[in-house]
Amino acid sequence: MGKKAQTRREIKEQQEKERKEIIRSIEVSKNPWANFWKRFDFWIYTACLAALICFPFLRKDALVYGDQAVIHTSYGDIEINLYKSDAPKTVANFVGLSDQGFYNHLLWHRVIKGFMIQGGDPNGDGTGGETIYGDYFEDEINPKSLGLADDQIKDLEDQGYTYNYSLNSHKMEVGSVAMANSGPNTNGSQFFIVTEKDQNYLNGQHTVFGKVTKGLDIAKKISEVPTDENDKPIDPVYIDSIEIK
């Protein structure tokens, strides 16, 4: 083959290659999905899809953001600080139920002057309750951080209490917000607020998950209303709603 013929062949091959490249680029431009993975919005879509797939498997207590709550009552507002690092599962339950409107229009069904006010029971008599977990959940208590002696801890453990020594628990002081229960690891939706005097004899038996920062006078006022033989207010006192901040 002559030199000129070879040159013509090379030029023809180059032109054919360029023609095919042009056709391919045109086809790609007509297909928006061809190089979609190279685009920024592809990764946005991928991240959102991954979040949707994973959401049902996330621990509910990992979704807690607010660390303050306002309990709106028929007597006024009670503001509390939530111990979400010290009682994460308990706070998650309280926040979750509050966000669902579970506590709206429930009674303060048990009030004792000089002691506490208790609410969170949809039955209104201390027999009911719900959780975001579907069943009762465990206590979150570290008896060592409460200053309990070894013999006290052993006595409580003999009664069925189990403890988490990695937590930083809080004593049952005036203003404490704690879970009501019917024994070890029977936490639901009911909670109480200590209105007067530190209740040290309850340390190690109830999960304290918050502290009143404002409105303790409201809680005391509720605790002083006339009650029947079951400590239930004669004239109903309500939790209007609970706002998480």
Q: Provide the annotated active-site residues.
A: 110, 115, 118, 181, 192, 202, 206
Report residue 210 as tokens: 């918050």
SS3 content of the chain, % helix, strand, coil (to 5): 35, 20, 45
Q: Which residues contact 71 (CB under 8 A, 6 or more apart)?
A: 77, 78, 79, 80, 103, 215, 239, 242
Element containing residue 158 per DSSP (H, E):
helix 150-158
Residues 109 and 119: beta-carbon distance below 8 Å: yes
Tell me which residue of 197, 150, 151 sits closest to 171, measured CA to CA: 197
